[in-house]
């Protein structure tokens, strides 16, 4: 039996999860010295393990889909459940109590951002072709937005698309493309009118990643791993029905994508990284490193926890607002900004508790492993919009300050 009532829905989710998954172990208790001490924020798996990780993600998404939880807010004609964001939040909160495969490779960009964009802007047969496949876990999508010359200033994309009859020919280079190496489709922003003002000469296309001329080259980031890619587009031919939105109307499409950017960066950060902002874990670390009575470190810990917990309250309240049916204010942007800073400060705080044990691996549990998080933190103040751009947006959109003179 299914019902839209939130309580019935949560109960249904629980029944589904009880059947298909195991309860997660209690994450609140800290067993110092036991278990996996990995502090990886980005994936650092060898290729064959990563392939297995992706396979498991796809398989779990399929199980969700078959049981009505694959696309909770999506319209039924494309395999969605037709419910509200509140139901989606509810499901996420119930699922977090269970030990299920991490589906970030599908969810963060594809299901969270590209799916809603296709739904809003694609032709019906394109929606039918891709949306059910994406939410069933068959198709992974990536975002072909940034370029070497268009980072914060995204509207200066230079990848060209030139019309030839019923087709478009794409040429250019994209960069920082997460999950491109696993993707079946990408959403590309291209320049179709170089003479128009930059926001008005952009067109968006869905690019099948197996089309001739699409080449994905992994980028190695400063952590040593390869989570994102460069994507080269050389004479890639795309049928006109793969265009999203109007010709030269791609900026509107891009805004849909960016507005659907989930607060994955601002949220608590599932998995091992949550330990970095956990009072219990940090206190256990201070005891293990004999620093618990260091007054300077205690003051820094308190300052860090104040910010981390206030950020958590901000997220809680944004969710409550959403549940009450009101549009949240700037809470999620602020939370994202704070999350990057909090995790950065946490990594440096921990490093100072550890001392030399984080600069050379002595083999001791829970020490050198923090280097992975430390090296990942600079990205958190850049990805999804740099801190500086986020501040411009807050000041201009929330406080109404005037824009700067822009080229």
261 is catalytic: yes
Least CB distance to other proteins at residue 394 (A): 4
Quick note: the x/- pattern for other proteins over 109-148, rule CB under 8 A, is ----------------------------------------
Q: Which of 111, 202, 338, 343 binds other proteins (CB under 8 A)?
A: 338
Q: Which of 36, 303, 361, 365 binds other proteins (CB under 8 A)?
A: 303
The number of beta carbons lying within 10 Å of the beta carbon of residue 112 is 18
Cβ atoms of residues 396 and 404 within 8 Å: no
Q: Are strands 185-191 and 141-144 parallel, antiparallel or unpaired?
A: parallel
Q: Does 309 bind other proteins (CB under 8 A)?
A: yes
Q: Which is nearer to other proteins, 252 or 392 (CB)?
A: 392
Rounded CA-CA distance 65/315 in Å is 27
Cβ atoms of residues 189 and 117 within 8 Å: no
Q: Does 152 bind other proteins (CB under 8 A)?
A: no
Q: Which is nearer to other proteins, 196 or 398 (CB)?
A: 398
Q: Which of 283, 351, 369, 386 binds other proteins (CB under 8 A)?
A: 283
Q: Which of 326, 327, 356, 363 binds other proteins (CB under 8 A)?
A: 326
Burial class (CB in 10 A: 0-12, 13-18, 19+), 266: buried
Q: Which of 25, 310, 364, 365 binds other proteins (CB under 8 A)?
A: 310
Cβ atoms of residues 200 and 248 within 8 Å: yes
Q: Does 307 bind other proteins (CB under 8 A)?
A: yes
Q: Does 274 bind other proteins (CB under 8 A)?
A: no
Return contacts of 15-18, CB within 8 angstroms, 24+ apart. 16/67, 16/68, 16/69, 17/94, 17/95, 17/97, 17/98, 17/100
Least CB distance to other proteins at residue 184 (A): 39
Q: Which of 17, 144, 334, 375 binds other proteins (CB under 8 A)?
A: 334
Q: Which is nearer to other proteins, 356 or 402 (CB)?
A: 402
Catalytic residue chosen out of the listed positions 261, 268, 396, 404:
261
Selected range binding other proteins among 101-109, 138-146, 165-173, 299-307, rule: CB under 8 A: 299-307
* Residues linked to residue 203 through DSSP beta bridges, in sequence order: 190
Q: Which of 31, 324, 360, 407 binds other proteins (CB under 8 A)?
A: 324
Selected range binding other proteins among 79-87, 138-146, 194-202, 307-315, rule: CB under 8 A: 307-315
Q: Does 337 bind other proteins (CB under 8 A)?
A: yes
How many residues form the binding site for other proteins (CB under 8 A)? 43
Q: Does 405 bind other proteins (CB under 8 A)?
A: yes
Quick note: the x/- pattern for other proteins over 378-397, rule CB under 8 A, is ----------x-xxx-xxx-
Least CB distance to other proteins at residue 163 (A): 39
Q: Which of 292, 378, 382, 386 binds other proteins (CB under 8 A)?
A: 292
Q: Does 400 bind other proteins (CB under 8 A)?
A: yes
Residues serving a catalytic function are: 261
Binding site for other proteins (CB under 8 A): 279, 282-283, 286, 292, 298-299, 301-303, 305-307, 309-311, 313-314, 316-317, 324, 326, 329-331, 334, 337-338, 388, 390-392, 394-396, 398-405
């Amino acid at each position: 039996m299914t019902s839209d009532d939130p309580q019935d829905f949560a109960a249904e989710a629980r029944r589904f999860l009880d059947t298909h998954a195991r309860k997660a172990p209690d994450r609140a208790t800290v067993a110092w010295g036991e278990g996996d001490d990995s502090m990886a924020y980005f994936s650092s798996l060898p290729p064959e393990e990563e392939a297995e990780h992706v396979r498991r993600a796809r398989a779990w998404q399929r199980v969700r889909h078959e049981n009505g939880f694959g696309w909770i807010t999506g319209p039924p004609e494309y395999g969605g459940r037709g419910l509200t964001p509140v139901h989606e939040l509810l499901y996420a909160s119930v699922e977090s109590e269970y030990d299920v495969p991490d589906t970030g490779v599908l969810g963060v960009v594809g299901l969270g951002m590209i799916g809603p964009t296709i739904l809003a802007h694609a032709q019906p047969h394109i929606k039918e072709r891709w949306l059910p496949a994406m939410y069933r876990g068959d198709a992974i999508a990536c975002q072909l937005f940034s370029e070497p010359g268009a980072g914060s200033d995204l509207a200066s994309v230079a990848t060209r698309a030139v019309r030839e009859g019923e087709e478009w020919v794409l040429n250019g280079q994209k960069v920082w493309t997460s999950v491109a190496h696993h993707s079946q489709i990408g959403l590309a922003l291209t320049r179709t009118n170089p003479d128009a003002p930059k926001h008005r000469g952009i067109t968006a296309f869905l690019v099948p990643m197996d089309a001739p001329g699409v080449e994905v080259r992994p980028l190695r980031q400063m952590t040593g791993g390869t989570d994102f890619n460069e994507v080269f587009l050389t004479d890639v031919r795309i049928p006109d029905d793969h265009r999203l939105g109007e010709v030269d109307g791609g900026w509107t499409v891009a805004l849909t994508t960016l507005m659907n950017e989930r607060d994955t960066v601002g949220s608590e950060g599932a998995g091992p990284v949550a330990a970095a902002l956990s009072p219990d874990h940090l206190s256990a670390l201070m005891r293990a490193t004999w620093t618990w009575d260091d007054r300077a470190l205690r003051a820094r810990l308190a300052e860090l926890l104040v910010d981390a917990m206030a950020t958590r309250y901000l997220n809680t309240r944004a969710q409550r607002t959403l549940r009450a049916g009101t549009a949240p204010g700037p809470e999620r942007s602020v939370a994202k900004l704070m999350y990057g800073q909090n995790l950065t400060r946490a990594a440096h705080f921990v490093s100072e508790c550890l001392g030399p044990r984080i600069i050379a691996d002595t083999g001791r549990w829970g020490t050198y492993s923090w280097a992975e998080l430390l090296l990942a933190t600079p990205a958190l103040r850049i990805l999804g919009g740099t801190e500086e751009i986020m501040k411009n947006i807050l000041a201009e959109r929330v406080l109404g300050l005037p824009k700067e003179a822009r080229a």
